[in-house]
Amino acid sequence: MRIPEAKVALSTASVYPESTATAFEVAARLGYDGVEVMVWTDPVSQDIEALRRLSDYHQVPILAVHAPCLLITQRVWSTDPWVKLQRARAAAEKLGASTVVVHPPFRWQRQYARDFVSGIWRMADETDVRFAVENMYPWRYKDREMLAYAPEWDVTKDDYRHFTVDLSHTATARTDTLAMVDRMGDRLGHVHLADGRGSAKDEHLVPGRGTQPCAELLERLAYSGYDGHVVIEVNTRRAMSSAEREADLAEALAFTRLHLAAASRDRDRGTRA
């Protein structure tokens, strides 16, 4: 079976409420190709030298840095969103990561939202690191829907050099995942693999446990020769033990590698034919 080009990484968010350091241990033990560091309230996630030591000790490369864009990280690495992105880029450059993942602004960040598209292009022109803007979703409560992100939660409506597609977010948005990926085209540079059932909550289920076309997307990526990263970003908060959490993350890795490798094999057979 042919080894696919895409590397499979573990998001450090996938071990929450355990620590960033634990994510490196788990990634090494299970055989992930690397990690994506979610920069959040864990001090280690904000400390470049601590992250470098973890990467070196466990021999697990840092493939991507997720900028602190969440509501709970509004004060991490400054309250200025552009400073956050500058620091994320600097971290990626120092740690050897190829990608910075960034969310579109919240609508109440008016000046940031107004300049976001042009600002991301400007920052992308200043580095070899990819700024991959991630699709989001409308916020829903009962029958009400609030558009929380600007310029758009559907980032394909704006012009960016690189995109991240998140399959839990497409589930929450109740949008057609593969159609969104088609719109992204060759600008798709990063994948957050998770599953969802279309709940109003951002579920981040283990791939294969929801309704999203996780297998189809992986097979399509492998068949096309996609060489970006596939990052397992799942919610394991309900795991009753560390062993149960690790079993979920092992299952997610096996699912991802299986569908990437099967499509790579089929592609090679077609080429040889």
Give residue 31's region: left, alpha or beta (phi > 0; psi -120 to 50).
left
Query: What are the backbone angles phi and psi of residue 192, rounded to the nearest 5°?
Result: -100, 110
Give the pLDDT confidence score for residue 146 in this predicted structure: 86
Residue type, 109: Q
Give the pLDDT confidence score for residue 142 in this predicted structure: 77
* pLDDT tens figures, 46-85: 999 999 999 999 999 999 999 999 999 989 999 999 999 9
Report, as an integer, the average pLDDT of 87-112: 97
Give the pLDDT confidence score for residue 266 in this predicted structure: 60
Q: Measure the CA dihedral 128/7/156/139, to 10°.
A: -120
Where are the chain's structural domains? 7-271
Give the model's confidence band at 4: pLDDT under 50 very low, under 70 low, under 90 confident, else very high.
low
Assess whether pLDDT exceeds 50 at residue 272.
no
Assess whether pLDDT exceeds 70 at residue 2.
no
Write down the architecture of domain 7-271 according to CATH. Answer: Alpha-Beta Barrel (3.20)
Q: 168-172, 191-195, 196-200: which range is least confident on average?
A: 196-200
Assess whether pLDDT exceeds 60 at residue 234.
yes
* pLDDT tens figures, 118-145: 999 999 999 999 999 999 999 988 778 8
Give the model's confidence band at 152: pLDDT under 50 very low, under 70 low, under 90 confident, else very high.
very high
E strand or H helix at 11: strand 7-11
Answer whether 12's CB lies under 8 Å from 35's CB: yes
- Chain-centroid distance of CA 115 in Å reads 23
Cα–Cα distance measured from residue 89 to residue 76, given in angstroms and rounded to the nearest whole number = 15
Answer whether 116's CB lies under 8 Å from 105's CB: yes
Give the pLDDT confidence score for residue 140 in this predicted structure: 86
Cα–Cα distance measured from residue 22 to residue 114, given in angstroms and rounded to the nearest whole number = 38
Assess whether pLDDT exceeds 80 at residue 192.
yes
Report, as an integer, the average pLDDT of 216-230: 93
Beta bridge partners of residue 241, listed in sequence order: none
Report, as an integer, the average pLDDT of 247-255: 98
| CA gyration radius, the chain | 18
| DSSP H helix total and E strand total for the chain | 9, 10
Beta bridge partners of residue 8, listed in sequence order: 230
Answer whether 187's CB lies under 8 Å from 130's CB: no
Percent of the chain with pLDDT over 90: 87
Assess whether pLDDT exceeds 80 at residue 193.
yes
Distances (CA, A) of 39 to 11, 62, 156: 10, 12, 25
The two three-digit tokens of residue 34, written as one number: 């690397």
* pLDDT tens figures, 13-54: 999 999 999 999 999 999 999 999 999 999 999 999 999 999
